[in-house]
Amino acid sequence: MKAIERIAPEVGWLPVSFVNVYFVGRPGEKWALLDSGLPGYASQVFAAAEARFGAGARPEAIYLTHGHFDHSGAAKILAEKWQAPIYAHRLEMPFLSGHSDYPPPDPTIGGAIAFLSRFMPSRSRDLGTRLQEFPEGDLPGLEGWRWTPTPGHSPGQVAFFRPADRVLLAGDALATMNMDSWTGLITARKVLSRAGAPFNYDWEATRRSVQKLAELRPNVLACGHGVPISDGDLPDRLERFANRFRKPRHGRYVASSARVDENGVVSLPRAPFDPVPLATAGALLLGGIALGSGYLEGKLSD
């Protein structure tokens, strides 16, 4: 089992496959879970929590930066196990209660994660009766923290910030690994980059969210994907990244964004032509013809 790694006072980091989960709090006191990881990984998150906080310890709440499957996948099982509420922004509610699917990913922008997005779900989840909107005032289990909206990657995405020591948990507003590069995905080398680009439904909102977070000048930056960063030059690096942030050259949501409201998706831009499924189907067809004609069989027997 992977151990939780300390990245700041009372903040622990646990990578769960390719996405990160964060634990805020100290043993014997109130604590909270930020994001829940992928479906099928609830037992890993639960075991890590018991190793850190003790057997039977329960969080005050599970907080979701947003509801995409890799961040909310284990939330319902963990909430039932812990008898804990799940908090999310009100604009995430239709996607977490089964009322609307997210805007579909755009694989045509290019890059590694864009290619893989063809095989990733964008359907809504139903987290049940434990799902609630963020409370007004103090956040249970997150004393000293505040949340700020960072839409663009999803309608109700938020980041969590602790002003006392400027620790920033940024969700998928950006990443600390290059998810557009196959090498970046494999090595997870620390670098400031855009996060989950094919899932960004509004690139102008994404740019503004990154700039908003840069203005916080964090000392620690922990995102949904990649190794957390606490280098001394982080505030200046993040400012430069925000100033240089640009939308892709092409893609479904580049010229115009998807429109969403409290009920979910209102309208979508027209989907651009995606040649990959056609090429894949063509390759399978040619392979079938070759097998049917005995060509490949003959070659394999040579």
What's the pLDDT tens digit per position in 246-273?
Answer: 999 999 999 999 999 999 999 999 999 9
How high is the pLDDT of residue 122?
78
The percent of residues above 70 in pLDDT, for the chain, comes to 91
Q: Mean pLDDT check: name the lowest of 27-31, 42-46, 119-123, 211-215.
A: 119-123
- Note the pLDDT tens digit of each residue in 21-48: 999 999 999 999 999 999 999 999 999 9
Q: Is the pLDDT of residue 285 over 80?
A: no
The percent of residues above 90 in pLDDT, for the chain, comes to 85
Phi first, then psi, for residue 48 (nearest 5°) are -65, -40
How high is the pLDDT of residue 136?
86
Burial class of residue 129, CB neighbours in 10 A (0-12, 13-18, 19+): exposed
According to DSSP, the residues that pair with 265 across neighbouring strands are: 260
SS3 62: strand
Cα 97 to Cα 88: distance, rounded to the nearest angstrom: 11
> Which sequence spans correspond to the domains of the chain?
5-280
Distances (CA, A) of 56 to 20, 83, 140: 23, 11, 18
Please check whether residue 174 is in contact with residue 193, taking contact to mean a CB–CB distance below 8 angstroms.
yes
Q: For residue 225, which of 132, 153, 297, 140 has the smallest C-alpha distance? A: 153
How high is the pLDDT of residue 1?
66
How high is the pLDDT of residue 158?
98
Distances (CA, A) of 74 to 53, 68, 69, 102, 211: 19, 11, 9, 18, 30
Q: Where are the alpha helices (DSSP H) in the chain?
A: 42-53, 69-72, 75-82, 93-96, 112-116, 182-187, 203-214, 234-244, 275-293, 295-301
Tell me the average pLDDT across 216-237.
Answer: 97
- Residues across the chain: 302
According to DSSP, the residues that pair with 176 across neighbouring strands are: 226
- Note the pLDDT tens digit of each residue in 48-75: 999 999 999 999 999 999 999 999 999 9
How high is the pLDDT of residue 276?
81
SS3 48: helix
Cα 8 to Cα 220: distance, rounded to the nearest angstrom: 8
Cα 243 to Cα 192: distance, rounded to the nearest angstrom: 12
- Note the pLDDT tens digit of each residue in 134-181: 998 899 999 999 999 999 999 999 999 999 999 999 999 999 999 999
pLDDT band at 291 (very low <50, low <70, confident <90, very high): very low
Tell me the average pLDDT across 7-31.
Answer: 96
pTM of the predicted structure, to 2 decimals: 0.90
Phi first, then psi, for residue 191 (nearest 5°) are -160, 145
How high is the pLDDT of residue 280?
52
User: DSSP letter string over 192-259?
Assistant: -B--SGGG-S-HHHHHHHHHHHHTT--SEEE-SSB--B--TTHHHHHHHHHHH----SS-TTTSSPPE
Single-letter code of the amino acid located at 199: F
Distances (CA, A) of 291 to 82, 104, 279, 284: 54, 35, 18, 10
- State the CATH class of domain 5-280: alpha beta
How high is the pLDDT of residue 294?
44
